[in-house]
Amino acid sequence: MFEAKYSAPEVDLFGMRETPATDDDWVAPFAHGPVTTRVTLPGSKSITNRELVLSALADSPSRLRAPLHSKDSGNMVEALRALGTTIEPAPASGDYGDDWIVTPTEELTGSTTIECGLAGTVMRFVPPVAALALGPTVFDADDAARGRPMGGLIAGLAALGVDVDANSADALPFTVHGTGSVGGGSLEIDASQSSQFVSGLLLSASRFDRGIELHHRGERLPSVPHIEMTIDALRQRGVDASSRETGSWSVSPGPIAGRDVRIESDLSNAAPFLAAAVATGGRVTIDGWPETTTQVGADLAHLLPLFGAHVDVADGRITVTGPNEISGVDIDLTTGGELAPALAALAALASSPSTLRGIGHIRHHETDRLAALATEINRLGGEVEELPDGLRITPRPLTAGRWMTYHDHRMATAGAIIGLVVEGVRIENIATTGKTLPEFPSLWRRMVEAHVA
Ligand X SMILES: O=C(O)C1=C[C@@H](OP(=O)(O)O)[C@@H](O)[C@H](O)C1
Ligand Y SMILES: C=C(OP(=O)(O)O)C(=O)O
SS3 state at 366? coil
DSSP 132: T
410: contact with ligand X by CB under 6 A: no
Is 218 or 323 the residue whose CB approaches ligand Y more closely? 218
Helix (H) or strand (E) run with residue 205 in it = helix 196-205
79 CB contacts (<8 Å, ≥6 apart)?
114, 115, 116, 122, 126
Among 29, 97, 151, 337, the residue binding ligand X under the rule CB under 6 A is 337
Does 148 carry a binding-site annotation? Answer: yes
407 contact, one of ligand X, ligand Y, none, CB 5-8 Å limit per kind: none
Cβ of residue 108: shortest distance to ligand Y, in angstroms?
23
317 annotated as belonging to a binding site for a ligand: no
Among residues 70, 73, 85, 195, the one that binds ligand X under rule CB under 6 A? 195
Instruction: Mark whether 338 is an active-site residue.
Output: yes
- 3-state SS class at 119: coil
With CB under 5 to 8 Å by kind, the binding choice for 361 among ligand X, ligand Y, none is ligand X
CA separation for the pair 251, 57 (Å, rounded): 14
Q: Kind and range of the H or E element at 275?
A: helix 270-280
Tell me: is residue 250 an annotated ligand-binding position.
Answer: no
Cβ-based nearer residue to ligand Y, 76 or 279: 76
Alpha carbon distance 50, 76 (integer Å): 9
Spacing of C-alpha 33 from chain mean position: 30
Nearer Cβ to ligand X, position 226 or 259?
226
Cα 87–88–90 angle (5° rounding)? 135
Give least dist CB 410 to ligand Y, A: 5
How far is 33 from 30, CA to CA, in rounded Å? 9
A 10 A CB-CB count for 185 gives 15
Residue among 37, 192, 223, 335 that touches ligand X (CB under 6 A): 223
DSSP state string for 287-317: E---SS---GGGGHHHHGGGGT-EEEEETTE
d(CA 86, CA 228): 28
Q: How far is the CB of 27 from ligand X (least distance, A)?
A: 27
Query: Please, what is the Cα angle at 9 between 432 and 354, to 5 degrees?
Result: 60
Nearer to ligand X, 92 or 387 (CB): 387
- Rounded to a whole number of angstroms, the minimum distance from the CB of residue 119 to ligand Y is 5
Half-sphere exposure (Cβ direction) of 91: Cα atoms closer than 13 Å: 0
Question: Residue 435, interface with ligand X (CB under 6 A)?
Answer: no
Task: Identify the active-site residue in 338, 376, 423, 428.
Answer: 338
Read off φ and ψ for residue 268, nearest 5 degrees. Answer: -75, -35
Q: Judge whether 3 is annotated as a binding position.
A: no
How far apart (Å, rounded) are the C-alpha atoms in residues 136 and 411? 35
Nearest to 279 by CA among 411, 452, 422: 422
Residue 338 interacts with ligand X (CB under 6 A): yes or no = yes
Is 71 among the annotated ligand-binding positions?
no
Which 3 state secondary structure label does DSSP give 344? helix
175 binds ligand X (CB under 6 A): no
Q: Which is nearer to ligand X, 65 or 361 (CB)?
A: 361
| Residue 194 assigned to a binding site | yes
Contacting residues toward ligand Y, per CB under 6 A = 119-121, 338, 365, 410, 436
Taking CB under 6 A as the criterion, the residue among 28, 29, 43, 46 binding ligand X is 46
Residue 119 contacts which entry, ligand X, ligand Y, none (Cβ below 5-8 A, type-dependent): ligand Y
Say how many residues make up the chain: 453
CB-nearer residue toward ligand X: 191 or 398: 191
Q: Which residues bind ligand X (CB under 6 A)?
A: 46, 120-121, 194-196, 199, 222-223, 226, 337-338, 361
Q: Which residue positions form the known binding site for 3-phosphoshikimate?
A: 45-46, 50, 194-196, 223, 338, 365
Q: Which residue positions form the known binding site?
A: 45-46, 50, 120, 148, 194-196, 223, 338, 365, 369, 410, 435
Q: Which residue positions form the known binding site for phosphoenolpyruvate?
A: 45, 120, 148, 196, 369, 410, 435
Q: Which residues are catalytic?
A: 338
